[in-house]
Amino acid sequence: MDDVEREKELAGNLKRVRNRIAEAVRMAGRSEEPELIVVTKYFPASDVRLLAGMGVSEFGENRDQEAGPKAAELEDLNPTWHFIGQLQGNKAKSVVRYARAVQSVDRQSLVSSLARAMENEQLRRASVGQSSRERLDCYLQVNLDPHNDEAPQGSGRGGARPEDLQGLADVVAQSPWLVLAGVMAVAPVRDDAAAAFDRLRGISDNLTLSYPSATAISAGMSADLEQAVAAGATHLRIGSDVLGARATVR
């Protein structure tokens, strides 16, 4: 497929997704649409460039080894990168160089790694005469799967337990380098998405009692964006319905 055909394909897909979002917002009786984050993992930088030309400004990536080079290639666009995959502490130094947000914060050790990496990044920028960067937005990833309660934190199997969120939020809020943005979750495979996202909304409401500005709710993907919008999602993470079937990076 040449660039012209790919641009037409992406434009058509994007229009359909935006129409779905608009209709979901109407059905939910909401006044504002959630932010669309296009998840570009396994797709080339050229697709990001085409989507940016169509007005998309926020993109999600899951793997630092792919995201880092892609972000460097697209530095002239200055898009907003959301890191949404499970993150090892030793990758924090690389991720904070390009990501404006990390949506998979699920344990206190990762918070410490991100805060330390942000401090070092500020020092690095100062040493080479670059402007300081904004603080890093952190979303607490919540395990919504009632069948997965025994999964350890940081195992990559669904995020932090709801009962552990308050302590995790406190640690994020104490760092001068981090911003507590809100919560993120994936609907469990064996559970109803609408019910799961309703639980997430309740968790978000509880969090904002302590941290009123932590209002972000990142929920909903291609298969369940309508349920997420109905539950009050502020950010949607859409991949395949915009980009098509996953491909190998060209």
- 203 found inside a domain: yes
- 126 found inside a domain: yes
- 128 found inside a domain: yes
pTM to 2 decimals? 0.93
Radius of gyration of the chain (CA): 18
The percent of residues above 90 in pLDDT, for the chain, comes to 88
Q: Which of 113-127, 156-170, 190-204 has the lowest mean pLDDT?
A: 156-170
- 249 found inside a domain: no
- 81 found inside a domain: yes
pLDDT of residue 154 exceeding 70, the answer is: no
User: What is the CA angle 68-71-74, rounded to 5?
Assistant: 150
- 248 found inside a domain: no
Encode pLDDT of 72-83 as tens digits.
999 999 999 999
Average pLDDT over residues 171-181: 98
pLDDT of residue 150 exceeding 80, the answer is: no
Cβ(209)–Cβ(192) under 8 Å? no
3-state helix/strand/coil string of 22-44: HHHHHHHCCCCCCEEEEECCCCC
- 250 found inside a domain: no
Q: 190-227 in b/e burial notation, b at 16+ Cβ within 10 A?
A: eeebeebbbbbbebbeebeeebeebebbbbbbbebbbb
The percent of residues above 70 in pLDDT, for the chain, comes to 93
Domain interval for residue 211 = 3-243
pLDDT at 190: 78
- 225 found inside a domain: yes
> Domain holding 34: CATH number?
3.20.20.10
pLDDT of residue 250 exceeding 50, the answer is: no
Q: How many domains does the chain have?
A: 1
